[in-house]
Amino acid sequence: MKAVHETVGARLESPGFIRGEEVKDDAPSVHDEPKRIRWPSERHPYAGQSAVLATKHAKLPLIAPPLARAVGLSIDAVAVDTDTLGTFSGEIPRTGPPLETAIRKARLGMQAAGLGLGLASEGSIGPDPAMPFLTSDRELVVLVDDNAGIVIWDAYTSYDIVAATTTARPGDDLGQFIAEADFPVHRLVVRPNQGPVQPLHKGVDSRAALDTAIAQAAAAATDGCARIETDLRAHACPSRQPVIAGAAERLAQRVAVRCPSCSAPGWGCVDILMGVPCDWCGTEVDQPRAEIDGCPACDHQEVRALVGTDATGDPGTCPVCNP
Ligand SMILES: [Zn+2]
Ligand SMILES: [Zn+2]
């Protein structure tokens, strides 16, 4: 398994929390307004509580330990068919942004288990939005607390994701692709390249199974080719697993921190203020100046400066000095 570099792999994002009005959810939502509940101030509100993780693909060992360590939340998995919300292999298209999908998944689990506290994760793997020549894996983990009417989430991005794809005819030499795809450590999905969707083989994990799948897919395809891709489901794609664990760790750290105003869990960075004056000409360059911390349950926010008031930015990144 490739190690995910903790600092290089992580990118500053603006994660945090959402309140009901920002979540478009057809389900009867309790998120119209956070409930004005009184949070206990002495012990963490989730210590000793039970939550449910909606998962079909064995994410429990990645997500539960950080939350148990950080706040004493106990998490059990419930097997719900989260594929109804879309699949990586595309038979069921994904609709809606990842955060919305993750919240829906969490609520599927909460309904199945009859609990008001639930978690889910959602991955986005593909060309990086900021650097499209790189493939990134952004994993998001969400904690939905319908008892209190709050949602807390965090995310982690890695560029060490294995996501290979190729087309082949039966008998083609696949040596280079197999190395690039880290097969069979990473499993594969095989389907007809053009024409019918079936036969679709998922979780292909041996050379014999791969050859059979290619033969069947190529025979069904109108162009005689099979399309072979990394199976991106978490249990089939080991390079995703440390990224999911990284997102869960960040979520756990966020959940552990209490709002200084109302004591709700989930206090942390919700936005970044950009703009530091250029050292040469004073024009604002695109560097972080401060972070805004916020609360999932109340409107309290605090600005935390990242640089001193006399800080100046690098003229090399200045739009005037180095256009
Ligand atoms: Zn300048
Ligand atoms: Zn608060």
User: How many Cα atoms within 13 Å fall on the side-chain side of residue 168?
Assistant: 22
pLDDT score of 80 more than 90: no
Q: How far is it, in rounded angstroms, from Cα 291 to Cα 304?
A: 5
321 alpha carbon to ligand 1 midpoint, in Å? 4
Encoded tokens for 200: 């679709």
User: Which ligand lies nearest to the CA atom of residue 285 in the structure?
Assistant: 1
Helix (H) or strand (E) holding 75: strand 74-78
pLDDT tens string 219-240 = 999 999 999 999 999 999 999 9
Q: What is the mean pLDDT of residues 267-295?
A: 93
Q: What is the mean pLDDT of residues 275-298?
A: 93
**Does the 165-230 domain belong in CATH 3.30.530?**
no
The reported pTM is 0.83
Encoded tokens for 13: 């994002």
Confidence of residue 92 (pLDDT cuts 50, 70, 90): low
In the numeric block, the tokens 């014999």 are attached to 208
Q: What is the mean pLDDT of residues 107-111?
A: 95
Pick among 3.40.50.10150, 1.10.287.70, 3.30.70.580, 3.40.50.800: CATH of 16-161+235-260: 3.40.50.10150
With 0-12 CB in 10 A as exposed, 13-18 as middle and 19+ as buried, what is 37?
middle
314 alpha carbon to ligand 1 midpoint, in Å? 8
In the numeric block, the tokens 């069921």 are attached to 92
Asked if residues 140 and 154 have their Cβ atoms less than 8 Å apart, the reply is yes
Nearest to 60 by CA among 139, 145, 119, 140: 119
Helix (H) or strand (E) holding 102: helix 98-113
* Cα-based distances in Å from 100 to 16, 41, 105, 121, 157: 14, 30, 9, 11, 18
Q: Determine the pLDDT at residue 17.
A: 54
pLDDT score of 91 more than 50: yes
Q: Determine the pLDDT at residue 3.
A: 33
Q: Determine the pLDDT at residue 158.
A: 95
pLDDT score of 90 more than 90: no
Q: Determine the pLDDT at residue 97.
A: 86
* Cα-based distances in Å from 49 to 35, 77, 147: 19, 14, 12
pLDDT score of 39 more than 90: no
What is the phi-psi region of residue 216: left when phi exceeds 0, alpha when psi lies from -120 to 50, beta otherwise? alpha
311 alpha carbon to ligand 1 midpoint, in Å? 14
Q: What is the mean pLDDT of residues 242-270?
A: 96
269 alpha carbon to ligand 1 midpoint, in Å? 29
Encoded tokens for 31: 């998120």
226 alpha carbon to ligand 2 midpoint, in Å? 54
Confidence of residue 268 (pLDDT cuts 50, 70, 90): very high
Q: How far is it, in rounded angstroms, from Cα 229 to Cα 187?
A: 9
Q: Which residues place a Cβ less than 5 A from the ion ligand 1?
A: 278, 280-281, 283, 315, 318, 320-321
Q: Which residues place a Cβ less than 5 A from the ion ligand 2?
A: 259, 261-262, 264, 295, 297-298, 300
Spell 59-80 as b/e; 16+ CB within 10 A means b. beebbbebbeebbebebebbeb
Q: What is the mean pLDDT of residues 183-200?
A: 95
Confidence of residue 40 (pLDDT cuts 50, 70, 90): confident
Helix, strand, coil: what percent of the chain each, to 5?
Answer: 25, 30, 50
Q: Determine the pLDDT at residue 7.
A: 28
Nearest to 247 by CA among 157, 117, 129, 150: 157
Looking at every residue in the chain, the average pLDDT score rounds to: 87
Nearest to 124 by CA among 17, 28, 234, 218: 234
In the numeric block, the tokens 């025979």 are attached to 219
Q: What is the mean pLDDT of residues 263-291?
A: 93
Asked if residues 316 and 285 have their Cβ atoms less than 8 Å apart, the reply is no
Q: How far is it, in rounded angstroms, from Cα 314 to Cα 296?
A: 35
The residue extents of the domains of the chain are: 16-161+235-260, 165-230, 270-317
User: 165-230: same fold as 16-161+235-260?
Assistant: no
Q: Determine the pLDDT at residue 88.
A: 66
pLDDT tens string 15-36 = 455 543 333 344 444 455 667 7
287 alpha carbon to ligand 1 midpoint, in Å? 13
Q: How far is it, in rounded angstroms, from Cα 188 to Cα 147?
A: 40
